[in-house]
């Protein structure tokens, strides 16, 4: 069974940031997934672009690199192929020794029991008999990873005396005042205990004011006045980097500051009201972006990706070239993907190269400078080698916390297609969800909606790409050996007609635990 899937710096400064990101990434021994994003030429004008590639002149590599052949991503990898890759060294810098590989296969099979043992173990993971799992965190549950993560942060802080650092802000200018007070501080100073002082107030910060400061600043990050982030058109809830943020002359300084704020919150074990797109979390973790990540960011664009992958170039109806249209501030311009690209036709032979380049423009190239600034700030506080033990869903939970998912409220706001509320599979489905723990419910919500965020007004106010969109369960008439699949733009779950409750629960759990994408294949 397969699973679904700083101040505005000079060019030299940008290269230093990028080299740092690449160097840290090279030291991370973790699962890497294939990626790809593509843009159908007939849909290009509907997607907003930004500062992208002006040909193939030497430039820093994208933060989340793309493969040369996105078509390879259509079929997601299986556990068996994962271990095959480990044995050949493609998942890490060196091949895993046979005895370790044998243990990892055992751990994958018995991950439930293994995680129960690790929860009860008092010895730090890195020092115990399961230390090999530090480099293969795929089999570890979120709470086990989080415990190891916090232990490593504390160990790195041993021997450092942390002082209090007073941060004076006005309630009406929290973001600007915080930036002014903190942006010139060193990373080590950021690790001091912040003591928040709201101007004109007599309150003493015993921890409550710090929590309030985090809450306020996490909202101000998305203030349209700063033009740093924009809501994803796919779900109208999560945020992604605004490719046009350069309209704010201080945007790179702000992005570095925001990176530090978010990492500092994680460092302090404080929660933020921040929900980002899946691809943004992947950039932080160094996980390759897939073309399927585009579904929740720009559904029209995503449809073009699929069409172009599945059809001959000559079926488009016109002759596409190695260029793309970019809309910025109401003005449309043509950007070459390679030198003189507008005069080079896309053919069946070079289609995948065109796809790779246009995806790089859309998913990474258009926001490379902003990403580099953000990541520089983030890694100042938390190194990439440590944060990358999580996957993108877990990173969201680490930043924003585990939500309280009211199953009865979700059930009351669910629509069924080719199923009835009393269908056996539907009854089994709700039974399984009620049996899930808090973390499993959160991952299920991420799987079907793209985010763990619960609407403030309840699931009746759940948003989709076209506005309010209730949770939907569609009958999947295909093989019952498929995993459940999802379409996050429509809050839609495609549920096969499983023969038993045990199989439904097992496959649903496997999908939400192991599948970054909403795909299930027989």
Helices (DSSP H) in 130-238: which residue ranges? 142-156, 174-182, 187-190, 208-220
Specify the DSSP class assigned to residue 418: S
336: which 2 tokens? 């070459």
pLDDT digits (tens, 9 = 90+) for 350-409: 888 888 788 778 778 788 899 999 999 999 999 999 999 999 999 999 999 999 999 999
Catalytic residue among 253, 274, 359, 489: 489
- Where does residue 381 fall: left (phi above 0), alpha (psi -120 to 50 degrees), or beta otherwise? alpha
Q: Structural domain boundaries of the chain?
A: 98-157, 164-287+369-399, 291-363, 402-514
**CA 325, CA 333: separation in Å to the nearest integer?**
6
Spans of the chain below 50 pLDDT: 1-78, 90-92, 516-522
Q: What is residue 85's predicted lDDT score, i.e. its pLDDT?
A: 59
Does domain 164-287+369-399 fall under CATH 3.40.50.620? My reply is: no
Query: pTM here?
Result: 0.76
CATH number of 402-514: 3.30.2410.10
Specify the DSSP class assigned to residue 499: S
Nearest to 361 by CA among 35, 38, 15: 38
Q: What is residue 414's predicted lDDT score, i.e. its pLDDT?
A: 97
Residue entry with tokens 């930043």 = 399
**What is the third-level CATH fold of 291-363?**
Hect, E3 ligase catalytic domain (3.30.2160)
Beta bridge partners of 165: 194
Give how far Cα 281 sits from Cα of 179, 186, 213, 416, Å: 23, 25, 23, 31
Helices (DSSP H) in 360-478: which residue ranges? 368-381, 384-387, 392-400, 407-412, 424-435, 438-449
Phi and psi (nearest 5°) for 317? 105, -5
Q: Fold match between 164-287+369-399 and 291-363?
A: no
489 is catalytic: yes
Nearest to 38 by CA among 10, 72, 14, 12: 72
Please state the separation of Cα 90 from the chain's center in Å. 22
Nearest to 276 by CA among 288, 262, 286, 265: 262
Sign of torsion, CA 307 311 312 315? negative
């Amino acid at each position: 069974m397969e699973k679904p899937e700083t101040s505005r710096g000079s060019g030299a400064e940008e290269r230093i940031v990028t080299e740092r990101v690449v160097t840290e990434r090279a030291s991370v021994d973790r699962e890497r997934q294939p990626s790809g994003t593509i843009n159908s030429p007939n849909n290009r004008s509907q997607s907003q672009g930004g500062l992208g590639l002006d040909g193939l002149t030497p430039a820093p590599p994208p933060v989340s690199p793309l493969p040369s052949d996105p078509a390879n991503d259509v079929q997601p990898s299986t556990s068996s192929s994962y271990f095959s890759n480990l044995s050949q060294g493609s998942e890490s810098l060196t091949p895993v020794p046979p005895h370790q590989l044998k243990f990892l296969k055992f751990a994958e099979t018995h991950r439930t029991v293994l995680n129960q043992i690790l929860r009860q173990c008092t010895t730090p993971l890195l020092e115990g008999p399961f230390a090999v799992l530090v480099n293969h965190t795929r089999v570890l549950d979120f709470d086990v990873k989080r415990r190891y993560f916090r232990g490593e942060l504390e160990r790195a802080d041993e021997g450092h005396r942390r002082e209090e650092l007073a941060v004076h802000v006005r309630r009406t200018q929290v973001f600007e005042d915080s930036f002014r007070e903190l942006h010139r501080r060193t990373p080590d100073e950021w690790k001091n205990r912040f003591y928040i002082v709201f101007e004109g107030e007599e309150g003493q910060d015993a921890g409550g004011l710090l929590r309030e400061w985090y809450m306020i600043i996490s909202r101000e990050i998305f203030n349209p006045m700063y033009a740093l982030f924009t809501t994803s058109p796919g779900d109208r809830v999560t945020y992604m980097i605004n490719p046009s943020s350069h309209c704010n002359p201080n945007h790179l300084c702000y992005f570095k500051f925001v990176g530090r704020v978010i990492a500092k919150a994680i460092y302090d074990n404080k929660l933020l009201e921040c929900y980002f797109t899946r691809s943004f979390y992947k950039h932080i973790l160094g996980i390759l972006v897939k073309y399927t990540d585009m579904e929740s960011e720009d559904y029209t664009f995503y449809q073009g990706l699929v069409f172009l992958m599945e059809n001959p170039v000559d079926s488009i109806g016109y002759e596409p070239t190695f260029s793309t249209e970019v809309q910025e501030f109401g003005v449309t311009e043509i950007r070459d993907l390679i030198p003189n690209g507008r005069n080079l036709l896309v053919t069946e032979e070079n289609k995948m190269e065109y796809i790779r380049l246009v995806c790089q423009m859309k998913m990474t190239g258009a926001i490379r400078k902003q990403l580099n600034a953000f990541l520089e700030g983030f890694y100042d506080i938390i190194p990439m080698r440590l944060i990358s033990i999580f996957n993108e869903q877990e990173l969201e939970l680490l930043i924003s916390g585990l939500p309280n998912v009211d199953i009865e409220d979700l059930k009351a706001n669910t629509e069924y297609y080719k199923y009835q509320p009393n269908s056996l599979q539907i009854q089994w489905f709700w039974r399984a969800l009620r049996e899930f723990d808090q973390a499993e419910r959160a991952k299920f919500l991420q799987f079907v909606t793209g985010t763990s965020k619960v609407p403030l007004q309840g699931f009746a106010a759940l948003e989709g790409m076209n506005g309010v969109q209730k949770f939907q369960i569609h009958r999947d008439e295909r093989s019952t050996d498929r995993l459940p699949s999802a379409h996050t733009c429509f809050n839609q779950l495609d549920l096969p007609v499983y023969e038993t409750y045990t199989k439904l629960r097992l496959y649903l759990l496997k999908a939400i635990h192991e599948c970054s994408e909403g795909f299930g294949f027989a």
